[in-house]
Structure 1
Amino acid sequence: MSKVMDTQNCFHCGLDIIKEDEIIFDNKSFCCNGCKTVYEIFSLNDMTYYYDFEKSPGATPQDIKGKYDFLDNESIVAKLLEFQENSTAIISLNIPHIHCSSCIWILENLQRLQKGISTSQVNFPEKKVRITYNPEVVSIKTIVYLLSSIGYEPYISLENYETGNNTVDRTLTYKLGVAFFCFGNIMLLSFPEYFEVKEYWLDQYRGFFRWLIFALAMPSFLYSASGYYVSAFKSIRSKMLNIDIPIALGIVVMFVRSAFDIIMDYGSGFFDSLTGLIFFMLLGKMFQIKTYSFLSFERDFKSYFPIAVTKINTDFSEESVPIYDVEKGDRLLIRNQELIPVDGILISEKAEIDYSFVTGEAVAIEKKSGDKVFAGGKQIGKVIEMEVLHSVSQSYLTQLWSNDVFQKNVEQKHKTITDQISRYFTPILLLIAFTSFGYWIFIDANIAFNVFTAVLIVACPCALALTAPFTFGNVLRIMGKQKFYLKNALVIEQLSKVDTVVFDKTGTITTNKKSNISYEGNLFSEEIKVLIKNALRGSNHPLSRMLYDYLPEAKKLKVDAFEEITGKGIMVQIDNHQILIGSASLVKIIDNNSIQQTSVHIKVDGQYYGRYNFNNQYRDGLEQLFSTLKNQYQIKVLSGDNDGEMETLEQLLPKGTELVFNQKPEQKLEFIKKLQQEGRNVMMVGDGLNDAGALAQSNVGISISENVNVFSPACDAILDATEFQKLNYFLQLSKNSITTIKMSFALSLLYNIIGLSFAVTGNLLPLVAAIIMPLSTITIVSFVTVMSSYYACKK
Structure 2
Amino acid sequence: MGKPCVHCGTDCGKNPVVWDEKEFCCHGCKTVYQILNENRLGAYYEIQPMSGIRIETGQPLRKFAFLDLDEIKDKLADFRDGNTVRVRFFIPAIHCASCIWLLEHLDTLHPGISHSTVNFPQKEVAVTFRDDQISMRQLAELLASIHYVPEITLEHLDRKKIRKADKSLMLKIGVASFSFMNIMMYSFPEYLPGGDLLEQKFKHLFGWLSFILILPVVFYSASDYYVSAFKGLKHKIISIDLPISIGIFALFFYSSTVVFSGQGIGYMDSLAGLLFFLLIGKWYQGKTYEALSFERDYRSYFPVAVTRLSDQCETIVPIRELKKGDRILIRNQELVPADAVLVKGYGSIDYSFVTGEALPVAKNQGDFIYAGGRQVGSSIELQVEKAVEQSYLTQLWNQGGTKKDKLSLNNHINFVSQYFTAAVLLIAVVASAYWATVQLSVAIYVFASVLIIACPCALALTVPFTFGSTMRAFGRRGFYIRNSDVVEKLYRITTVVFDKTGTITLNRKMDVDFIGDSLGIEEITLIANVVRHSSHPLSVALKEFLPHASELMPERYEELPGLGQTAIVNGKRINVGSEMFVTGQHTSTTMNESRVYVSVDGRQAGYFTFSNSYRQGLPTLIEGLKKRYSLHLISGDNDGEEKKMRAIFGDEASLHFNQSPADKKQYILRLKEKGENVLMIGDGLNDAGALAESNTGISVAEDVFSFSPACDAILEAASFDKLEKLISFSRTSFKVVRRSFIISLIYNVIGLSFAVSGKLSPLIAAILMPLSSISIVAFATLSIGWFASRQLKKDESVR
Say yes or no: TM over 0.5.
Answer: yes
The range that moved more, 114-123 or 478-487, is: 114-123
Q: Which residue pairs with 2:484 in the alignment?
A: 489
Once the two structures are TM-superposed, the CA of residue 322 in structure 1 deviates from its matched residue by: 1.3
Once the two structures are TM-superposed, the CA of residue 475 in structure 1 deviates from its matched residue by: 0.9
Q: Which residue pairs with 1:680 in the alignment?
A: 676
Distance 2:5 2:536 in 1: 66
After superposition, the C-alpha distances for 1:186-226 in whole angstroms (9 at most, x for unaligned) are: 33443332233359776773443333333332222221111
Q: Among residues 537, 547, 552, which one is paired with 1:552 in the alignment?
A: 547
Distance 1:226 1:285 in 2: 13
Q: Taking structure 1 as reference, are residues 436 and 357 closer, same or farther at Cα in structure 2, changes over 3 Å only?
A: same
Aligned ranges 1:526-675 → 2 under 5 Å: 526-588=521-583, 596-654=592-650, 656-675=652-671
8 Å Cα contact 2:479-2:715 kept in structure 1: yes
Once the two structures are TM-superposed, the CA of residue 544 in structure 1 deviates from its matched residue by: 0.6
Q: Which residue pairs with 1:693 in the alignment?
A: 689
Q: Which residue pairs with 1:397 in the alignment?
A: 393
8 Å Cα contact 1:303-1:485 kept in structure 2: no
Aligned ranges 1:376-455 → 2 under 5 Å: 376-403=372-399, 406-455=401-450
Distance 2:181 2:139 in 1: 51
Q: Taking structure 1 as reference, are residues 683 and 468 closer, same or farther at Cα in structure 2, changes over 3 Å only?
A: same
8 Å Cα contact 2:467-2:487 kept in structure 1: yes
Check if 1:136 corresponds to 2:132: yes
Once the two structures are TM-superposed, the CA of residue 545 in structure 1 deviates from its matched residue by: 0.5
Structure 2 unaligned runs (5+)? 792-799
Structure 1 unaligned runs (5+)? none
After superposition, the C-alpha distances for 1:735-769 in whole angstroms (9 at most, x for unaligned) are: 11112112222221222222222222222222222
Q: Which residue pairs with 2:187 in the alignment?
A: 190
The aligned amino acid for 1:790 is W
Distance 2:144 2:675 in 1: 51
Q: Which residue pairs with 1:357 in the alignment?
A: 353
Q: Taking structure 1 as reference, are residues 273 and 76 closer, same or farther at Cα in structure 2, changes over 3 Å only?
A: closer
Q: Which residue pairs with 2:312 in the alignment?
A: 316
8 Å Cα contact 1:530-1:555 kept in structure 2: yes
After superposition, the C-alpha distances for 1:666-701 in whole angstroms (9 at most, x for unaligned) are: 222233233333333221111010111211222211
The range that moved more, 644-653 or 692-701, is: 644-653
Q: Among residues 255, 269, 272, which one is paired with 1:272 in the alignment?
A: 269
After superposition, the C-alpha distances for 1:221-270 in whole angstroms (9 at most, x for unaligned) are: 22111111222233333433222211111111111111222332444311
8 Å Cα contact 1:59-1:152 kept in structure 2: no
Once the two structures are TM-superposed, the CA of residue 569 in structure 1 deviates from its matched residue by: 1.9
Distance 1:36 1:631 in 2: 60
Once the two structures are TM-superposed, the CA of residue 428 in structure 1 deviates from its matched residue by: 1.9
After superposition, the C-alpha distances for 1:461-492 in whole angstroms (9 at most, x for unaligned) are: 11111111111111111111212111122211
Q: Taking structure 1 as reference, are residues 253 and 76 closer, same or farther at Cα in structure 2, changes over 3 Å only?
A: closer
Distance 2:198 2:753 in 1: 42
Q: Among residues 202, 210, 219, which one is paired with 1:213 in the alignment?
A: 210
Check if 1:227 corresponds to 2:221: no
The aligned amino acid for 2:549 is A
Distance 1:716 1:753 in 2: 39
Q: Among residues 306, 321, 324, which one is paired with 1:325 in the alignment?
A: 321
Once the two structures are TM-superposed, the CA of residue 373 in structure 1 deviates from its matched residue by: 2.3
The range that moved more, 99-108 or 188-197, is: 99-108
Task: Report SS of the residue matched to 2:612.
Answer: strand
Task: Report SS of the residue matched to 2:681.
Answer: strand
Q: Which residue pairs with 1:762 in the alignment?
A: 758
Q: Taking structure 1 as reference, are residues 309 and 252 closer, same or farther at Cα in structure 2, changes over 3 Å only?
A: same
Q: Which residue pairs with 1:777 in the alignment?
A: 773
Distance 2:681 2:174 in 1: 53
Once the two structures are TM-superposed, the CA of residue 720 in structure 1 deviates from its matched residue by: 0.9
TM-score, with length taken from structure 2: 0.90
After superposition, the C-alpha distances for 1:569-626 in whole angstroms (9 at most, x for unaligned) are: 2222110122222222233166687763122223222333333222222112222222
Q: Which residue pairs with 2:513 in the alignment?
A: 518
Q: Which residue pairs with 2:243 in the alignment?
A: 246
TM-score, with length taken from structure 1: 0.90
Q: Which residue pairs with 1:504 in the alignment?
A: 499
Q: Taking structure 1 as reference, are residues 304 and 196 closer, same or farther at Cα in structure 2, changes over 3 Å only?
A: same
8 Å Cα contact 2:255-2:265 kept in structure 1: yes
Q: Taking structure 1 as reference, are residues 410 and 37 closer, same or farther at Cα in structure 2, changes over 3 Å only?
A: closer
Distance 2:573 2:468 in 1: 53
Q: Taking structure 1 as reference, are residues 147 and 545 closer, same or farther at Cα in structure 2, changes over 3 Å only?
A: same
Once the two structures are TM-superposed, the CA of residue 13 in structure 1 deviates from its matched residue by: 11
Task: Report SS of the residue matched to 2:210.
Answer: helix
Q: Which residue pairs with 1:460 in the alignment?
A: 455
Distance 2:155 2:739 in 1: 47
Aligned ranges 1:54-65 → 2 under 5 Å: 54=51, 57-65=54-62
Q: Taking structure 1 as reference, are residues 472 and 106 closer, same or farther at Cα in structure 2, changes over 3 Å only?
A: same
The range that moved more, 70-79 or 139-148, is: 70-79
8 Å Cα contact 2:625-2:724 kept in structure 1: yes
Once the two structures are TM-superposed, the CA of residue 351 in structure 1 deviates from its matched residue by: 2.7
The range that moved more, 138-147 or 651-660, is: 651-660
8 Å Cα contact 1:147-1:153 kept in structure 2: yes
After superposition, the C-alpha distances for 1:21-63 in whole angstroms (9 at most, x for unaligned) are: x9978698988x9888778766876778889524762245543
Once the two structures are TM-superposed, the CA of residue 357 in structure 1 deviates from its matched residue by: 2.2
Q: Taking structure 1 as reference, are residues 690 and 64 closer, same or farther at Cα in structure 2, changes over 3 Å only?
A: closer
Check if 1:259 corresponds to 2:256: yes
The aligned amino acid for 1:357 is F
The range that moved more, 141-150 or 636-645, is: 141-150
Once the two structures are TM-superposed, the CA of residue 64 in structure 1 deviates from its matched residue by: 5.0
The range that moved more, 232-241 or 408-417, is: 232-241
8 Å Cα contact 1:304-1:394 kept in structure 2: no
Check if 1:714 corresponds to 2:723: no
After superposition, the C-alpha distances for 1:508-561 in whole angstroms (9 at most, x for unaligned) are: 111112222233333322222222211111011101101112222221112112
Once the two structures are TM-superposed, the CA of residue 95 in structure 1 deviates from its matched residue by: 3.0
Check if 1:94 corresponds to 2:94: no
Q: Which residue pairs with 1:746 in the alignment?
A: 742
Distance 2:669 2:24 in 1: 57
Q: Taking structure 1 as reference, are residues 674 and 787 closer, same or farther at Cα in structure 2, changes over 3 Å only?
A: same
Distance 1:696 1:662 in 2: 20
Distance 1:447 1:595 in 2: 87
Q: Which residue pairs with 1:298 in the alignment?
A: 295
Distance 2:589 2:143 in 1: 69
Q: Taking structure 1 as reference, are residues 522 and 342 closer, same or farther at Cα in structure 2, changes over 3 Å only?
A: same
What fraction of aligned residue pairs are identical, expressed as a percent? 45
After superposition, the C-alpha distances for 1:627-662 in whole angstroms (9 at most, x for unaligned) are: 222322222222221222334444445564443322
Distance 1:105 1:541 in 2: 39
Once the two structures are TM-superposed, the CA of residue 11 in structure 1 deviates from its matched residue by: 9.5
Distance 1:739 1:511 in 2: 35
Once the two structures are TM-superposed, the CA of residue 303 in structure 1 deviates from its matched residue by: 6.6
The aligned amino acid for 1:728 is E
Task: Report SS of the residue matched to 1:618.
Answer: coil
